Structure 1
Amino acid sequence: MSVAVANVPSMPHDIRRASGQDAAALNALLHASSAYRGDYASILDGYEVTPEYVGRHQVFAAFPAVAPATGPLGFYSLTGAELDLLFVADAVQGTGLGTALIAHMLETARAKGIPSVRVVSHPPAARFYERMGAHRTGTVPPRPPKIRWERPELTFDTGGV
């Protein structure tokens, strides 16, 4: 499935299913995220998106349509009925790519018959998910030593089954 991203300025982007060969580039994007520096850096310590992970889950990445070899600009991972990962490169945040990835994720979940998608959010990202239509359902407690803070739990209704 490939969906053109309409709201990203300057060049069109395509969202496609990631392959195991994309794992290194997805890791680079994930570890370059400025959202996980400082107090939040510990959650990504030692974290790796492996080719096996990509093969086992619904992982989709956004690539520039004109120069896809430059690598992904964002990606998400749907593990069953949970949004496990969502990252957008710092350079393209605010361009609508995150919105396009959420829309694609909801479409993917709906097509799989998943009625709702759970998100355990990075605290600063919770407002983004709420703007995208998720509603707050609770809080997940800390899990030291890596996760020393509470995380918002949200749910997207897919409009599916």
Structure 2
Amino acid sequence: MTATDPRIRRATTDDAERLTALIHASNGYQGEYAPMIDGYRLSPEYLALHPTYLAVDEADGLQGFYSLLVDAATLAKHGFTLPELNLLFVDDRLQGKGIGRLLIEHMLDLAKREGLTEIRVVSNPPAERFYLSVGAEKTGTVPPTPPRITWERPELLFRT
């Protein structure tokens, strides 16, 4: 698989299964981080509610995606005060080819158009370096939330 001129498109409810499959195939959630996604599924309802965008090749082959939490009710339910980058995944075979950077650029452009000035990220620890490299600043850490998450997670912020 190669990263051939990806284009970005909005996810549809029909994309739920293949996005879930990409999440579960991720090397970033193996070993000690596996419990975080154990049983996790993206539903068509999730995709209808939350802005989710895919990087795809010319044949609509999935290269990566991101999802934002911006709905006020969802944010309040989770105790969030800022819009949040909820998910960002790039096919393991395509990492390092600029797809993650392209997705972040798209997210920041979208945020600006929507009048969002900040986007919070609570990162898987191995992904922290990537977020810093694409312009996020570290603002702290989020404590473990057992039983699934037994480690601290970096908290970062993108400013648009």
Scaled by the length of structure 2, the TM-score of the pair is: 0.90
CA–CA distance in structure 2, aligned partners of residues 96 and 142 of structure 1: 31
What is the aligned partner in structure 1 of residue 126 from structure 2? 124
2:69 maps to amino acid: T
> How far, CA to CA, are the matches of 1:99 and 1:46 in structure 2?
28
Q: Is the 8 A contact 2:10 2:54 kept in 1?
A: yes
C-alpha distance in 2 between matches for 1:110 and 1:31: 31
**Segments of 4+ moved more than 3 angstroms:** none
Equivalent position to 2:30, from 37, 40, 57: 37
CA distance in 1, matches of 2:3, 2:98: 12
1:7-18, aligned counterparts within 5 Å? Answer: 11-18=4-11
CA distance in 1, matches of 2:105, 2:144: 29
Does the C-alpha gap of structure 1 residues 137 and 10 become closer, same or farther in structure 2, counting only changes over 3 Å?
Answer: closer
Q: Secondary structure at the match of 1:75?
A: strand
Q: Alignment partner for residue 100 of structure 1, among 102, 108, 124?
A: 102
> Identity of counterpart residues, as a percentage?
53
Partner in structure 2 of residue 19 of structure 1: 12
Task: Write the deviation string for residues 41-77 of structure 1: whole angstroms up to 9, x where unpaired.
Answer: 0000111110000000000011102x11xx3110000
**Counterpart of 2:55?**
62
Residue 73, structure 1, aligned to residue 75, structure 2? no
Shift of 1:11: 2.0
1:48 to 2:41 alignment: yes
Q: Equivalents in 2 of 1:121, 1:87: separation in Å?
A: 12
Q: Which runs of 5+ in 2 are unaligned?
A: 71-82
Distance 1:52 1:107 in 2: 25
Residue-pair matches, total: 147
Alignment of 1:77-92 (within 5 A): 77-80=67-70, 81-92=83-94
Give the whole-Å Cα distance in 1 for the aligned partners of 2:31 and 2:68.
27
- Offset of residue 10 of structure 1: 5.8
Contiguous gaps of at least 5 residues in structure 1: 1-8
| Amino acid of the structure 2 residue aligned with 1:72 | L
